[in-house]
Amino acid sequence: MTRRPLEILDQALNRKPVIVSLKGGREIRGILQGYDVHMNLVLDKAEEEVEGSLQSFGTLIIRGDNVIYISPSVD
């Protein structure tokens, strides 16, 4: 049976980190704490690699219209 995208996101909630690709080429990594049908996201322990160094944001809210894709993080 085919799973729906929101069901897959439910499985990622409060578990392993996800990578969120954003418009403009940015990628944010963090623990998915919540989302809605507009793909607005709440990430905890959010971080981004900028010019070789890691920038930490803590808790971050990402507006859904900036999201290109969400993927499980590969450690």
**Span 26-75, pLDDT tens digits:** 999 999 999 998 999 999 999 999 888 999 999 999 999 999 999 887 66
Domains, the chain = 5-65 (2.30.30.100)
The answer on pLDDT for 8 being more than 90 is no
- Which two three-digit tokens encode residue 39? 């793909």
- Which two three-digit tokens encode residue 55? 């920038």
- Which two three-digit tokens encode residue 33? 């704490």
- How far apart, in whole angstroms, are the C-alpha atoms of residue 23 and residue 46? 17
What's the pLDDT score for residue 31? 95
The DSSP bridge partners found for residue 43 are 32, 60
Is the four-CA dihedral 49, 55, 60, 62 of positive or negative sign? Answer: negative
Q: Model's pTM, two decimal places?
A: 0.84
